[in-house]
Chains A and B, each alone.
Chain A
Amino acid sequence: MGKSSLFFGVASLGLCLLVACTKNSTNGMGANVNRASKSILTLPHQTATLENGLKVFLVKYPSTGVVAYQLGVRVGSRNEVEKGKSGFAHFFEHLMFRGTKTLSSQEFGAIYTENGVSYNAWTWYDMTNYHGKVASRYLDKILAAEADRFQNLDFSEAALKAEAGAVMGEYLKSASDPGFLMEETMQELAYKSHTYGHTTLGYKADIEQYPNRYQDVWPFFKRYYRPSNVRIVLVGDIEFDKALELIRANFGAWENPAELPQEVTPESEQNDERSKAVEFPSATPTRIAIAHKVPAFGTKDVENAALKLIADVYFSETSEFQKIYRFEKGWLDSVSAFPFETVDPGLWKVELVLSEAGKDKEAELKQAVLDEMEKIKNSPVDTAELTSAKMRARNAALTQWFSAPDSLAGQINWYTNFEADFEVLDRVFQRIDEVQPSDVAAFAKKYLVNTKRTTVTLRGKVQ
């Protein structure tokens, strides 16, 4: 604030400030830090694994006085193997806000409130993430609170029942979105035995039973909320030694329970083409999703990288496909083909939302997507296009990941859920750089075939 008045003083003399502002390298950036020159992560970083297996990822980011934190748990709807318990990981995420052995839900929440923390959580197929931003000087309080709930969660049956209502509310909200019905239908059709067959929210019928599930949530907690299954990511204004000391003090004594995660039944190989049409209960544009089973995330080979580039070259906004069918013919309102990385073999969906002009062009559009798949297999990819997609991947990461500490923390947490070391970030881009035109065609021939295909069409109710 003192500095501010000084500048005001200068300005009031009638000068407009046009000053080159030289940045010194403070902001807590210590000298004893390795900056790998070729790494995408140019900010100082450090990693550690506690004796109980809990993994720690620390990055210094120039967000003065603020730290983004994430606690990633390797549990998601993928782990909901028991019948009737779909959506449990997400339900459990809600219950994690309901208090501990020594703190009521209100008292627990009050710790965050008192310290002005913005915090939340989300659940996905492979992961549950508790995240937030906190003033650096209150980080100790938040790590202590997080350690408490991860080790000593406790709540009453009444609290569980109340939270069950909140989850049903969330389900109802989602149910008004045609995209959700698409996802629900697609997952169920594409997976026969694997738990990717239901969405992260779970089945409505199962959610209706949550009020009676008090006894069932505790084994789930012990199986998955264990130190060896958890990562802590801190990105922001931190000192490495102090941060690590805090994490050790709060999480070091946490022991792994005897209960082990349950085995997830693998999906047997898909050998048939599947399709289904559903009606949305109100008027809405027609949507088509054409999905193919694709490999689990991994950086051992270039397969995931090839898929990412395929999605960009053939279906992004600059693709020939969108040029013709969205922009020239005007048959499409939107196209999305973002490949989501998954722990087990996942689905790569090309999703189309048809425009008013395209509402009678379902068959042509489906065929057009399939024609693209054939093109990828049979005509060599344009090398300029491939290079452009490779450049985009890196440039997008440099801008989007680094624009805020929570974005960077999120990316680190996401990728270390698959491969638990900082270098996974670099391997992702190394593999992208390595992809050759032949890899693109090989991927398509292996995976983008009709026997691995599932198509869902959603049509709005005709009014």
Chain B
Amino acid sequence: MNKKLFGLGFVVLALAGSVFYSPSCLGKVLLEKNNDLPLTVFNITFRAGSADDPQARQGLANLTARLVREGGVKALGDLPALTRPELEKVLFPLAADISVSVNKEQTSFSVMATAENGDRVFALLRQVLQAPALDPVEFKRIKEETKLSLTQKWPQQDQEELGKAALERVMYGPAHPYSHVVEGTLAGVEATTIEDVKEFAAKLYTKQRLTVGVTGVIGGDLEAAVKVFNDSLPEGESAKATLPAAPAHTARTLTLVKGDFEGTGVHLGHPTSLTRASADFPAMFLANNAYGKHRDFVGRLMRIVREIRSMNYGTYSYIEEFPNGGRYLSEQTQVARSQQAFTVWGRPTTAENGCFLLRLLARETTKLANEGITEEEFKRVQKYLIGNIPITAAGIEKRLGISIDSEFYGVTGDYLANLQAKVSELTHEQVNAAIKKYVQPESLQMVVVTKDTDAFSKEISSDKCEITYKDGVEVPAEISEEDKKIAVYDVGVEAAQIKVVPAASLFE
């Protein structure tokens, strides 16, 4: 154990959630004290995830996190060794449900405790992380569960997450560590051993990759315990994964994912160089909200696809990864990535309208790149965001998660307050210039998830595919005119170039 303090700064956050960073000792520990609420929130995040999975061990980061959490604990100090069920029995009455989230580049262990149980819960969390027992029986179970998920859940049960996973594979290519889902591949999971897990944890659950966040009621003992934890972690070899550059797509592609679903889902996008650390981020943040704000009627896509044409439940766009968007209404934390993509998610429409939806989205995205957003959209969304940005993190857990992500991106200050201030200063021209820079219609990678891929392939390769409106849906004349143009829009992929992949093949 390295006892030297390294890169350790205690950063005390202000009551309103402002983050005060000290440039001379970059904070890896974030403490926010708030005595109004009867609880304490812990979030221990390592900058490690599926992008760190070695070759032929796709899924290792996820298996490691799960086994550390679910594999029981060895004795640590005066805390006794416990099997998984014994540990759960201890955590149960405390309602201290330690949850684990693994994404491409972050692994997070988080838990909430009542104020009076804070010290106890942190001690148990520390035991999980520093004295994991890695029980082989639990490992076998976790592997089986993961394999089931890869063979059944992913390819068969959630059409929309399947489509996003396929798009990710197409956008980044099979050689990039983002190309597999966090749970890995069947072959990777099968090949993984406990030794792999031990090695992964030893190498990556280290101080260089660590950010500790605590918020809520924090007494002196707890503060000291947090310091001891941070102090006792090994230094580690590296601060982050080294990623290859995302492929530069020079042409559009279309991949049809064959799956047994009633409707047809459409996904498209391409990698970008934009992250929260980019100077253009606020401009693209505004642009993306105007184009396809997640689960809201603010965006253009929601208006033209759902509200006017009644084609599906929603269509949205993203400049940052947004996993499980069907479940979450607002951005999750600890899904930060050093490489992001611009993507569009068209939720399932009827199979007969699938072709039209793809044409509509490819055409509209091209229009966005060429023409930008309108003055009206700019003004409306700018005003919206000024009110909206502060409310996205009303809860203390979320605020803490955002601060940890700021640490990931090297963004200093209060992320939301700064974003709000920058958005309020933007001009229409700046936003459209950013769109031109980051939305590349010639590079669109397109994925369609549908049952009858042959029929879809024929349809999209034909000169025309028209929309079939639901019984009684009436649209204004200008929309009918627009529909005629959409119906004949060429998505730019020759019939012979269309790839068809069975859903299961993405997870093998």
Contacts and interface: CB of A to CB of B under 8 A. Distances in A.
Interface of A: 1, 3-4, 7-8, 11-12, 14-21, 23, 25, 27, 29, 42-43, 61-66, 68, 97, 105, 109-110, 113-118, 120, 133-135, 138, 157-158, 161-166, 168-170, 172-173, 175-178, 211-212, 236, 281-285, 316-318, 323, 327, 330, 333, 355-357, 387-389, 391-392, 395-396, 398-400, 402-407, 460-461
Q: Which of A17, A316, A388, A389 has the most CB of B within 10 A?
A: A17
B278 interface: no
B394 A169 contact: no
B310 A162 contact: yes
30 contacts: A1-B417, A11-B20, A16-B22, A17-B22, A20-B220, A65-B16, A97-B297, A113-B380, A118-B392, A120-B329, A135-B391, A161-B473, A164-B310, A164-B473, A166-B313, A175-B262, A178-B157, A282-B260, A330-B141, A356-B144, A356-B148, A357-B144, A388-B93, A391-B93, A395-B117, A399-B95, A399-B112, A403-B39, A403-B397, A404-B396
A1 B390 CA distance: 14
Contact of B350 (A172, A177, A236, A404): A172
B114 to A, nearest CB: 5
Nearest to A15: B22
Contacts of A212: 472
Contacts of A176: 157-159, 261-263, 348
A166 B330 CA distance: 21
A18 B394 contact: no
Interface string B275-295: 000000000000000000001
4 interchain residue pairs of minimum CB distance? A116-B387, A404-B395, A165-B310, A116-B388
Given A16-B10, A355-B145, A158 B156 contact: no
B383 interface: yes
A396 B112 CA distance: 9
Given A16-B8, A63-B394, A113-B380, 13 more contacts: A12-B22, A105-B307, A135-B387, A166-B313, A211-B472, A318-B88, A388-B92, A392-B95, A399-B95, A399-B112, A403-B37, A403-B112, A403-B396
B391 A161 contact: no
Nearest to B391: A133
A62 B36 contact: yes
A133 B262 contact: no
Contacts of B130: none
B445 interface: no
Nearest to B503: A282
Interface in B134-165: 138, 140-141, 144-145, 147-148, 152, 156-160
Contacts of B411: none
A403 B297 contact: no
B295 A18 contact: no
A402 B145 contact: no
A406 B395 contact: yes
Given A176-B263, A283-B156, A395-B95, A116 B113 contact: no
A23 B14 CA distance: 10
A316 B92 CA distance: 9
Q: Which of A63, A138, A157 has the most CB of B within 10 A?
A: A63
B20 A7 contact: yes
B6 interface: no
Interface in B467-500: 470-474
Given A11-B23, A177-B157, A355-B144, A113 B471 contact: no
Contacts of B414: 4
A21 B33 contact: yes
A387 B34 CA distance: 30
A172 B413 CA distance: 44
Given A177-B157, A387-B93, A120 B260 contact: no
A172 to B, nearest CB: 5
Contacts of B95: 391-392, 395-396, 398-400
B322 to A, nearest CB: 15
A333 B145 contact: yes
Nearest to B263: A172
B398 A18 contact: no
B129 interface: no
Contacts of B38: 42, 398, 402
A97 B308 CA distance: 13
Q: Which of B310, B326, B348 has the most CB of A within 10 A?
A: B310
A16 B33 CA distance: 17
A64 B37 contact: no
A116 B89 contact: no
B103 interface: no
B54 interface: no
A282 B260 CA distance: 6
Contacts of B471: 161, 211
Contacts of A173: 160, 263, 313, 326, 347-348
A356 B16 CA distance: 49
Contacts of B35: 23
Interface string B437-471: 00000000000000000000000000000000011
A460 B417 CA distance: 49
A409 to B, nearest CB: 10
A356 B298 CA distance: 44
B41 interface: yes
Contacts of B14: 3-4, 7, 21
